[in-house]
Amino acid sequence: MSLRALQFFFFATAVSFFFAVPLHGTLSNGQRYALSFVDVDGHTLSTADGHISVVVLATTADSDKARSVGDSVPDYCLGNPSYRMITILHFANKHTGIGRKIATMLVRHRLNEEAKRLQARYDAKKIASGARSDIFAVADFDGTASSRLGGQPEAADFHVFVFGRNGELLQQWNEVPSAEDLAAAVK
């Protein structure tokens, strides 16, 4: 290897080290990802099963952000079986055994409360289905779910992904997207 090539290699390595982006969001828009998750109600959900999926990766501290994403979902998605929102709740503390069961019960309780809020929106739009059946949450106790989304299991940052019917990543954000941006991505 010539000295010039060696210098270029070290320069490129140094640049990539100092300007490296965090692992979160390293999924590439336009690529297909068939990711499967099991929610707290026992449903197996996939990003490539024919639905347009809004997937929110959040910690327990990000619950207000996750709610804001849900509130920004366009009305035409509500009660529509072609669309769904999945919240992946990453637990920073390692829960095992009884701790997982209690945490899962608390997540279900929180989903029931959110369903009551969402049901008011359904009623206003005269949507016949129950809102609770359209709310999905995955309890990520060990970082497995967040790592599938390009995250590091020990530190899941807030992230929003929109996957097309075949698992194609259509859009992603590190913060709560505007209602307009979210509507454009799910259309």
DSSP-assigned letters across all residues of 8-51: HHHHHHHHHHHTPPPSTT-SPTT-B---EEE-TTS-EEETTSSS
Number of structural domains the chain divides into: 1
Q: Is residue 122 part of a domain?
A: yes
For residue 160, is it within any domain?
yes
Cβ neighbors of 169 (< 8 A, separation 6 or more) are 27, 28, 29, 30, 31, 32, 33, 161, 162, 163
Q: For the chain, give the mean pLDDT.
A: 84
- In angstroms, the CA 73 to CA 69 distance is 7
Range among 14-18, 28-32, 89-93 with highest mean pLDDT value? 28-32
Compute, in degrees rounded to 10, the torsion defined by CA atoms 67, 69, 74, 75. -10
* Inside any domain, residue 18: no
Residue 163 lies in a domain: yes
In a domain? residue 4: no
pLDDT-wise least confident of 13-17, 30-34, 171-175 = 13-17
Q: Is the pLDDT of residue 13 over 60?
A: no
What value does the mean pLDDT take over residues 133-157? 83
168 located within any domain: yes
- In the predicted structure, residue 150 carries a pLDDT above the cut 50: yes
Is 186 in a helix, a strand, or coil?
Answer: helix
Distance CA 169, CA 180 (A): 18
Mean pLDDT of all residues in 158-164 = 96
Please give the pLDDT value at position 110. 93
pLDDT exceeds cutoff 60 at 34: yes
Examine residue 13 and state whether it is found in any structural domain, yes or no. no
Domain boundaries, position 154: 23-186
Residue 76 in any domain: the answer is yes
Mean pLDDT of 155-173: 92
Which CATH number characterizes residue 46's domain?
3.40.30.10
Q: List the single range of 21-30, 99-108, 121-130 with lowest mean pLDDT.
A: 21-30
Instruction: Using the predicted structure, report yes or no on whether residue 70 has a pLDDT greater than 60.
Output: yes
